[in-house]
Amino acid sequence: MKYRGIVKADGEVTVYTERGSFPCSAEMEFDSKKDTDTAVNYFSAGLLSGILHGILSYMKKDGNPLEEVEAKAEVVLDNPLSYLSVKGYEETPRIAKVKVDLYFYSFLEEEEVLAKCEEALKKNILYQTLSPTVDIEIVYHLSL
């Protein structure tokens, strides 16, 4: 996998992938009125979709596909004031925690489907790469 980033005159970065491109306005943005995606937005969305795709693919290959799947993620930042260069705040800013609520229906018993979801995470590239340094909590909500 290879990527290329080009900075425009206005400071926006366009990232080129092997299949297309997308704009990225900043690393992080705290202005709720700005209507652009940031690197942290793409990163968080990529993690959420990677977890979903990994679990769905694993369950489908296992012969027990999940149905009516939906998820939401909440990203918690440590030391955002340091990122904003507020005087007196020198700690390193970072993503401290990602909480994912995963809603789905399965024909399996709850204990069995949750064990299979955990097995799927053991083979998930993004989850395995990030979980040693970022607290990733996945809360399963199984519809009966």
| Domain 43-143 = CATH 3.50.50.60 | no
Q: Look up residue 118 and give its DSSP letter.
A: H
Give the 3-state secondary structure of 20-67. CEEEECCCCCCCCCCCCCCHHHHHHHHHHHHHHHHHHHHHHHCCCCCE
Nearest to 54 by CA among 131, 129, 135, 119: 119
Query: pLDDT per position in the chain (144 positions), as tens?
Result: 999 999 999 889 999 999 999 999 889 888 778 878 899 999 999 999 999 999 999 999 999 999 999 999 999 999 989 988 899 999 999 999 999 999 999 999 999 999 999 999 999 999 999 999 999 999 999 986
Give ranges for CATH 3.30.300.20 in the chain. 43-143
Round to the nearest angstrom and report the end-to-end CA distance of the chain: 40
